[in-house]
């Protein structure tokens, strides 16, 4: 079946602009994760949803970052007033249940803030 | 805080040789250890994982070993092929917190024909 999809694949934003990144998880997957991957680094956890509930947002770098999953399926990561240090690949992953389960990653959205 | 250290950062081998990548973790509550392969422009893809109740797991040319006492785990790739060239990441997670993954810094593996 279809894997995790993300859109857009690439986004160029001017500093100060707001951006919205979309994630479509694998159908039926309860858990959804967002990670941020800087160039040449491993992914770093941002936030986690179980269905529509955001259970952990400890990795969000600032209050400019906001994520939602209102119907327990598609998720959106929003970054307000983007800054150059927000430039990274944003990865979404989903898993059937969560704990100790395989996380399936999407291709990521590469964000470049100029 | 939780931390995963991964070595080496780059690894170059001849086709047919073996490759070994090592990781250490700091959180003794970690009990799930996946390995991901990431090719350029793509998301990480799971290649093998191991849970804390097992010391070793093998899948064809790929094997992973876990030493819980030393908090070490390693990836072994035998009979390497050029298509194994990619960046490999180890990760660790607890059983709670939804299973968020703490990743190592990555190893860029190059297999020369």
Asked if A54 is an interface residue toward chain B (Cβ–Cβ < 8 A), one would say no
Asked if A46 is an interface residue toward chain B (Cβ–Cβ < 8 A), one would say no
Sequence-separated (6 or more) residues with CB below 8 Å from residue A12: A112, A113, A114
Residue B94 pLDDT grade (very low, low, confident, very high; cuts 50, 70, 90):
confident
Chain B residues within an 8 Å CB radius of A2:
none
Q: pLDDT tens for residues B11-44? A: 999 999 999 999 999 999 999 999 999 999 999 9
Beta bridge partners of A92: A34
Model pLDDT, residue B98? 65
Consecutive sets of 10 residues in chain A, 114 residues long: mean pLDDT of each? 91 98 96 96 96 94 96 97 98 84 94 98
Model pLDDT, residue A43? 98
Q: pLDDT tens for residues B40-83? A: 999 999 999 998 888 999 999 999 999 999 999 999 999 999 99
Q: Is the pLDDT of residue B84 over 80?
A: yes
Chain B residues within an 8 Å CB radius of A96:
none
CA distances in angstroms from B92 to B10, B48, B85, B87, listed in the order given = 20, 13, 23, 17
Sequence-separated (6 or more) residues with CB below 8 Å from residue A80: A18, A64, A65, A66
Q: Which pair of structure tokens corresponds to residue B21?
A: 């990548």
Contact between B6 and A102 using a beta-carbon 8 Å cutoff: no
Q: Is the pLDDT of residue B97 over 80?
A: no
- In 3-state terms, what secondary structure has residue A106? coil
For B28, phi then psi, to 5°, come to -65, -15
Model pLDDT, residue B96? 60
Residue B85 pLDDT grade (very low, low, confident, very high; cuts 50, 70, 90):
very high
């Amino acid at each position: 079946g279809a894997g995790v999809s993300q859109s857009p694949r690439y986004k160029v934003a001017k500093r100060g602009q707001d951006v919205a990144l979309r994630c479509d998880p694998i159908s039926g997957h309860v858990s959804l994760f967002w990670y941020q991957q800087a160039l040449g680094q491993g992914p770093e956890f941002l936030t986690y949803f179980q269905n529509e509930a955001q259970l952990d947002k400890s990795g969000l770098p600032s209050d400019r970052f906001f994520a939602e999953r209102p119907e327990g399926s598609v998720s959106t990561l929003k970054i307000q007033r983007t800054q150059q240090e927000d430039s990274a690949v944003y990865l979404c992953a989903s898993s059937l249940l969560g704990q100790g389960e395989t996380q399936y990653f999407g291709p990521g959205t590469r964000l470049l803030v100029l | 805080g939780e931390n995963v250290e991964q070595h080496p950062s780059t690894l170059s081998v001849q086709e047919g040789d073996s490759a070994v990548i090592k990781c250490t973790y700091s959180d003794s509550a970690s009990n799930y250890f996946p390995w991901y392969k990431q090719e350029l422009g793509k998301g990480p893809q799971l290649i093998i994982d191991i849970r804390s109740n097992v010391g070793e797991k093998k899948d064809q040319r790929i094997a992973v070993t876990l030493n819980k006492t030393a908090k070490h785990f390693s990836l072994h790739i035998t009979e390497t092929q050029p298509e194994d060239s990619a960046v490999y990441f180890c990760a660790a997670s607890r059983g709670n917190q939804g299973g968020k993954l703490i990743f190592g810094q990555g190893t860029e593996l190059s297999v020369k024909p």
